[in-house]
Amino acid sequence: MAGYTPMIQQYLKIKADYQDAFLFFRLGDFYEMFFEDAKKASQELEITLTSRDGGTDERIPMCGVPYHACSSYIEQLIKKGYKVAICEQVEDPKTAKGVVKREVVQLITPGTVMDGKGIHENENNFIASISVKQHTYGLAFSDLTTGENLVTTIENFDDVVSEVYSVGAREIVVASSFSDKSIAMLKDRLGATISFEDEIEKSADIVKDLPDEDMRQTFLRLYTYLKRTQKRSLDHLQKVQPYQLEEAMKIDLYSKRNLELTETIRSKNKKGSLLWLLDETKTAMGGRLLKQWIDRPLVRKSQIEERQEIVETLITHLFEREDLRERLKEVYDLERLAGRVAYGNVNARDLIQLKESLKQVPAIKQLVTSLDHSKAKERAGRIDPCDDLLELLEEALHEDPPLSLKEGNLIKDGFHLKLDEYRDASKNGKDWIAQLEQKERQYTGIRSLKVGFNKVFGYYIEVTKANIHLLEEGRYERKQTLTNAERYITPELKEKEALILEAENNICELEYKLFSELREQVKQYIPRLQELAKMMSELDVLQCFATISENRHYVKPIFSEDNVQVVDGRHPVVEKVMDSQSYVPNSCEMGKGRQMLLITGPNMSGKSTYMRQMALISILAQIGCFVPAKKANLPIFDQIFTRIGAADDLISGQSTFMVEMLEAKNAIINATKNSLILFDEIGRGTSTYDGMALAQAIIEYVHNHIGAKTLFSTHYHELTALEEKLPDLKNVHVRAEEYEGKVVFLHQMKEGAADKSYGIHVAQLAELPADLISRAKTILAELEAGAKEATPATKETPTAVAEEKPAQLSFFETNQPQKMKAKLSNKEQGVLEEFKAMNLLDMTPLQVMNELYKLQKKLK
């Protein structure tokens, strides 16, 4: 380092503490980056890479961005998962001895970004922390933009991954000793940025109410990281709320994706998801709470019914509901406004938004009080209008303040005596200037004479050169010569200028000081504002449920112990996308003697839609919304498991079939008799008989050992015979009819098994070539004829047929290697054993070739 210039030495010393971040190093009007940071940033941001002398023979790579436009560049880097350390000059260059002192004032990361395009108003921006103690995981979340904090303990790492996915955390903080394998899984499955924190604060007020020491330590690791990186007040962080996964319906990572609760599988967009369907909220706070409710449906009947009752009340009070919606439109994001106040980056326009929001609260409180329901009145009683804060903002703030805090025009007249005096001096001074211009025009007779101002010379009198001869000798003092005019000053003008400029400077300084004091006063209201935000967001989501339920003709579900009775149910999202007139509703009945439904029918007939429909109706019911049906009688499900759709997990190196098996395993291990399981065509990823055997074994296991409500769709028609063996399994199918050689899907569920698969008809609908379709029909006829000629003995079990006709490789076949082994000679067997014992991965390619040559010689 000694060979570098003092400034580069300073850079390297600071950079050593921020190895995992881009260091934005302030030099004048630019943030500069050097060395590897410069090379990488120039690629990621598509900016020019230059170089500079650093005191050594080689020039140092360098790139930079203007400080006034840095936010867009920072957003680009954060969006790509990087971190940015902001290094500012912390002393005046004019008074600095040697290199100007610089320090990192903030580390911006994907989980700590506070504003900009990276923050979506209807989504939380959580940062997570995971800790491990023996076989238990601690999981903490914090949203700096809203101040929300959560903590829980989880037994299973897969559940940790699912919970982080649900919350949508973009950054995860762990100890440096955290398992490399677990870190790789978090990166692969979630695409999250991983950060490390080994220090833990001893205590903090926000965790003092947590009864569990492990929970306290888990959150304190995250809190320590936030304090270390943000280097500013975190007063807006709310007390940490503990929760348990068992307090809500458990929906694993795969099921949330398969059911498209908050985003679609294909496009990863909100449009087409359940959240898209439901989001009739009017506030950003309500939009975020709606997503949280969808991610964590309730399992306590009393809580569900309380929400239902308020939704029902809002449906019957149409005018009050519409008035409430209009009022909520005018309520800004109170949670994030409170966060900006605490963070110190709130401006006057933000506080005007806060003021306008508070103006709506008394009317909203009155509206909710007027609803004819005790629970609604009780909620209204908890609404705090914050009248004293509203009064303070009304008195202090100018109605239309500028964005900048140092230009003045922030504070109203009459709020502060000294400010009023300065404003009066400035106004009177400017009036005097205007009068001086008129007086001098009259005295000199020069109509074009004017009094002007610029920041270099201050106030001046300007006379065109054509009129200079009209000036009285010695009246003015020449100050500046222009091409076509001369500029003059007088002692009296300079005296007034000093008074005016002093007043204007004092106005801006005093207004900024008063605004800073106002901001500190508003800070004291943060806890009350956060409570008010919770009340507003809950009301917003409940009115949203009422609006959706009425407009889309949903019904209030009734909860029973064990029976499912959904009459004319509809898939809510598909119904919205389609014309509701053409949507075909379907009923579903499950209960004693009917815990499992085995669904058969052709592709494209609606089996998967029917299964998802059942899950979405259950989720809607348990978040407190009404459901798309004529009648709905439902149990409260503790968990939902799905295996729907097929997709290779290429990142993890897992095939479609392996993904199927892992998702099936997750359901089989964790489901209870109070769960809902959806299995769509299990076993199709392997050979016919392997797949059929696995499907039957899974059905029997779930039926005999779990007893959960299960919808199982399949193309293995042989499985429909299980209805005779398993007392709680019933066959249902989706109707389809042939018309003029083409299949017509009726999308109606009927009792009993389907008679055909109609696969070739579906291929025909997809407009495959006519020759191909014709050939497929011929092959099908030959196969069906061959199947009829088979003896009953060969058709008795799948394994018997597999041995007779080994047309496909079986996943579990073991007989063939045994037969092959028996045909080998002793010498061949010895060579095989020798080859088996080799560790090829520890050998060079040349060594492998030599060993293979030796083995081949032995065989020959």
Strand segments, DSSP code E, in 636-776 are 639-643, 676-680, 709-713, 729-739, 742-751
- C-alpha distances (whole Å) from 717 to each of 249, 538, 782 are 33, 48, 19
Any long-range contacts for 491-496 (C-beta under 8 Å, 24+ apart)? 493/436, 493/451, 493/459, 493/460, 493/461, 494/458, 494/459, 496/429, 496/432, 496/433, 496/436, 496/459
Question: Is residue 825 annotated as involved in ligand binding?
Answer: no
Q: Nearest 10 degrees: CA dihedral of 847, 853, 857, 860? A: 140
Gap between the Cα atoms of 595 and 421, Å rounded: 82
Q: What angle do CA 730, 733, 735 make, to 5 degrees?
A: 155
Q: CA 681 to CA 783: how far, in whole Å?
A: 22
d(CA 711, CA 726) in angstroms, rounded, equals 14
Helix (H, G, I), strand (E, B) or coil at 74: helix
Any known ligand binding at 603? Answer: yes
The reply, when asked if residue 607 is annotated as ligand binding, is yes
Measured distance CA(597)–CA(574) in Å, rounded: 22
Q: 3-state SS string over 553-606?
A: CCECCEECCCCEEEEEECCHHHHHHCCCCCCCCEEEEEECCECEEEEECCCCCC
Cβ neighbours, 10 Å, residue 417: 7
The Cα–Cα gap between 113 and 343 comes to 12
Whether residue 47 contacts residue 65, with contact meaning beta carbons closer than 8 Å, is answered with yes
66 annotated to bind ligand: no
Q: How far apart are CA 235 and CA 226, in angstroms?
A: 12
Burial 70-94 (b: 16+ CB within 10 A, else e): beebbbbbbeeebbbbbbbeeeeee
Q: Is 774 assigned a ligand-binding role in the annotation? A: no
Written as one letter, the residue type at 312 is E
Compute the residue count for the chain: 860
Residue 381 labeled ligand binder = no
Binding residues, by number, are 601-608
Binding residues for ATP, by number, are 601-608
